[in-house]
A = this chain, B = another copy of it.
Amino acid sequence: MPEIDYQKILRRIKPSESEYSEVNDLAVNLISIINSVAANNNIDARAVLVGSVAKDTWLAGKADIDIFIEFPLNTEESELKDKGLFLGYECIKRMQGQYELRYASHPYVTGLINGFEIDFVPCYSIKDSSKLKSAVDRTILHTEYVKKKLEEEQKDDVILLKKFMESIETYGSEFKVGGFAGYLCELLVLYYGSFTQVLEAASDYWHYGYIIDLENFNTGSGFSDPLVVVDPVDKNRNVAAALTIQKMSEFIIASRNFLENPKEEFFSKKIIKYNVNLIKNGFNKRGTKTILLVFKPPEVPADAIFPQLKKTETSLKKIIERAGFQVYGSGYWTDQTNIAIILLEMLVWELPIIKKHAGPYIWSKKHQKRFLDKYGSNAWIENDQWMVDIERDYCDVESLLRDFLTPKNIKHLKSGKHVKEEILNHVEIVDIDHFINSIDDEDLLLKFLYEYINKSGNIWR
């Protein structure tokens, strides 16, 4: 196997000494502020540093400082929320940061302090997962587990793995990505020992439903996900539950490609070159017809937008194919503020007016009655089934779409509430040829279109 200079890569992707000091000093500072504010206000709470900063496994320039504020288990939920947010708020104020209230499974406060985005999350103090009150409570257990188990030199392996994953775009467990969470990367390194051993395992013997069970809980067979990594702090949770089969496959292939020919380029985003003309020609050459639905994205968090766009895409495909047309491919994209897009690439987008409509089997007089009352002697027999030639409702896919995305018919679209509202409010149905002229070479939408016609590019270097 060709050699690769991991130290050289680490010098680039690991935080520098000064970044380490800066981040850690800030974190220590914030924690002591919260703890003193709590003491001064007679609040029974304690700040804890969690996440990649606590574990020394963050990527250079990507420190997410996550501070959890622990309350005793017997605290009322409303009290935990009020006092927790108050402490975060006070801390941000003292540091002269900007704050913003956010909601995940429960509310937290985010502050922008000295250029760092810092989350302050109120939670319950638990010793083991059987006492869990909400999903965030588990985070402290995760941090403790990794800090206890991860050897010093394995931190570099985690950083290499995270960077590799980020570069091939399989990093992140949010819906938009559907990839590997940071904690999952850490567990993989713990389980297999090193960066290359993780890649070798994935490359050689991972299969659909593969189970990793660090603490031998033997609960893995209860999950039906592509990859099962039993959470060492909670035997009833699959850490890889959000990983899609698509991203798991891409990681496996990228691992094989890297091991076969290790290149430093696997630790940087792939450089792709495109412009409007290149993409326009790319679509034209395919001979298909690509239609875009363009509308405003709803003002809801990313974790709500992306699943709704995915649902919309899937539902539209079904509606189109049920009408007899054929979809070659599809996709969705949004910048989360100005524009959302569903892409539908059609293989068959026009059909003759005639349509064969299957009726009941001929055997029962009773079943045939309604059919014959409706169609009379236009009906005919094929083998032992009644058939009739009827007129198709839509002879081209655009008129189908235009008619379906109206108040009368949109109930048939399964798209999620917010996206449905936006579509109903205003949607453009445009041919890609027409649409692409209106965007410029810098638009991130172009990258989406480029990657649509150049799929899985990230697995190669």
Contacts and interface: CB of A to CB of B under 8 A. Distances in A.
Contacts of A324: 347
A94 interface: no
Contact of A363 (B208, B351, B377, B456): B208
Contacts of A351: 347-348
Size band of the A side of the interface? 35 or more
A417 interface: no
A455 B208 contact: no
Contacts of A455: 380-382, 387
Contacts of A287: 352-354, 395
B383 A246 contact: yes
Please state the number of chain copies in the assembly. 2
Interface stretch (A149-157, A248-256, A421-429): A248-256
Given A362-B253, A365-B256, A353 B286 contact: yes
A460 interface: yes
A191 interface: no
Contacts of A381: 246, 249-250, 253, 455-456, 459
A389 interface: yes
20 contacts: A203-B365, A204-B365, A246-B381, A248-B384, A249-B383, A249-B384, A250-B381, A252-B362, A253-B362, A286-B352, A286-B353, A287-B395, A328-B352, A328-B354, A347-B351, A348-B351, A377-B457, A380-B455, A381-B455, A382-B455
Interface of A: 203-204, 206-208, 226, 245-246, 248-250, 252-253, 256, 285-288, 324, 326, 328-329, 347-348, 351-354, 356, 362-363, 365, 377, 379-384, 387, 389, 395, 455-457, 459-460
